[in-house]
Amino acid sequence: MSDRPEVWLNCAASLDGRIALAGGRRARLSGPEDLRRVQEMRAAADGIVVGVGTVVLDDPSLRVHWELLDGRRGKDPARIVVDGSGRTPERARVLDGSLPTIVLTSRSSPRTYPTGVERIAAGSGRVDLAEAFRALAARGMRHLMVEGGAELFASIVRARLFDRWTVYYAPVAIGGVTAPPLLRGLEIERLEDAAHLDLRSIERIGEGFLATYLPRTEGRRDGQPPRT
């Protein structure tokens, strides 16, 4: 049994694999049907995880929009920010004290946070995600939803620290040079070093489609076609 929570990556992308506009400016890629699906996922999670770059660019609230879920209300998941060097703005909404918040940081970061914001230090210089996820599991968290951005996705995917990845593809193409892709970070030069995935299903949602992938375990090819 894994010593970390179940980790589910989720994002929306253009058909050419961009998750934002030029320079990282936010793009609303999900339609209303997918937005509701995302809120269902948030409501089922123990924690919603983003990288500090997403906080700096978008200032998300990371709350469940219960009003989109037929008025029902449950337990709010914790807001979790991966911030190795303490870049989270002081006035960021994730630090407003309205919901439980955890910052995953490195041991070398001197940053302090407001009362009510928990700090978990893991790794030196950069956050050791495997160690940080184990610490979250020790606090009773069993299911994490990771919403971005591209560098955090890359770190999690390449370290095989996830169990499922859903991508909603919007019927738009963004292109350009500075619009961030699904993954960004260290370059690889051999296909063998890439993260290989199994496509489990494809379904239409509104004007776009949702693809669900699982990490491929070594040597596993079950031969099952995706469900459409």
Q: Which pLDDT score, from 0 to 100, does residue 218 have?
A: 63
Amino acid symbol at 19 = I
Token code pair at residue 8: 């589910």
- Token digits of residue 107: 């041991």
Q: Does the CA dihedral 20-111-9-66 come out positive or negative?
A: negative
More confident residue, 227 or 54: 54
The answer to whether 150 and 19 are in contact (CB under 8 A) is yes
Q: Cα 93 vs. chain centroid, distance in angstroms?
A: 17
pLDDT per residue over 22-34, tens digit each?
999 999 999 999 9
- Is 145's pLDDT higher than 80? yes
Please check the confidence at residue 7 and state whether its pLDDT lies above 90.
yes
pTM (2 decimals)?
0.92
Which of these, 159, 166, 144, 146, lies nearest to 5 by C-alpha position?
Answer: 144
CB 160: neighbour CB atoms within 10 A? 13
The pLDDT of residue 211 is: 98
- pLDDT of residue 6 exceeding 50, the answer is yes
**Residue 228 confidence class, pLDDT cut points 50, 70, 90:** very low
Q: What angle do CA 65, 71, 74 make, to 5 degrees?
A: 70
Q: Is the pLDDT of residue 64 over 80?
A: yes
Q: Which residues pair with 35 in a beta bridge?
A: none
For the chain, give every domain's residue range: 6-215
> Which letter, b or e, does each residue of 118-152 get, where b requires 16 or more Cβ atoms within 10 Å of its Cβ?
eebbbbeeebbbbebbebbbeeebeebbbbbbbbb
Q: Residue 217's CB: how many other CB atoms inside 10 A?
A: 10
Q: How far apart are CA 121 and CA 226, in angstroms?
A: 40
Angstrom distances, CA of residue 92 to CA of 24, 36, 85, 146, 198: 18, 24, 16, 18, 37
Inter-residue contact 72 to 66 (CB < 8 Å): yes
CATH architecture of 6-215: 3-Layer(aba) Sandwich (3.40)
Residue 48 has pLDDT above 50, yes or no: yes
Mean of per-residue pLDDT scores for the chain: 92
